[in-house]
Homo-oligomer: A and B are copies of this chain.
Amino acid sequence: MDLMTSLQEITKLSHLYYERQWMYATAGNLSVRDRSSWEQFWITASGKHKGELKETDFVSVSVADGTLVSANEGLKPSAETSIHQVLYSQMPDVGSCLHVHTLDSNLLEFGVEKTEGYRDIPIPPIEMIKAFGIWDEKPSLTMPVFYNHTHVPTIANEIKRYFVTEGIPKVPFLLIEGHGPTVWGKSIAEANKHLEAVHFLLQVMARRV
* Distance (whole angstroms) from the CB of A85 to the closest CB of chain B: 19
State the interface size on chain A (CB cutoff 8 A). 41
Cα distance, A199 to B103, chains bound together (Å): 10
B197–A24 contact, CB under 8 A? yes
A207–B127 contact, CB under 8 A? no
Contact with B along A113-144 (1 / 0, CB 8 A): 00000000000111110010001111000000
Cα distance, A26 to B180, chains bound together (Å): 22
A49 at the interface (CB under 8 A from B): yes
A107–B25 contact, CB under 8 A? no
B131–A25 contact, CB under 8 A? yes
Cα distance, A151 to B137, chains bound together (Å): 9
Once A24-B199, A25-B200, A200-B25 are accepted as A-B contacts, the answer to whether A178 and B103 lie under 8 Å apart by CB is no
Task: Name A208's contact: one of B49, B107, B149, B194 (CB within 8 Å).
Answer: B107
B149–A137 contact, CB under 8 A? yes
Cα distance, A112 to B128, chains bound together (Å): 18
A193 at the interface (CB under 8 A from B): yes
Question: Given A25-B193, A27-B131, 7 other A-B contacts at CB below 8 A?
Answer: A24-B199, A24-B200, A25-B131, A25-B197, A106-B204, A109-B208, A126-B179
Residues of A within 8 A of B (CB): 21, 24-27, 49, 101, 103, 106-107, 109, 124-128, 131, 135-138, 148-151, 176, 178-180, 189, 193-194, 196-197, 199-200, 203-204, 207-209
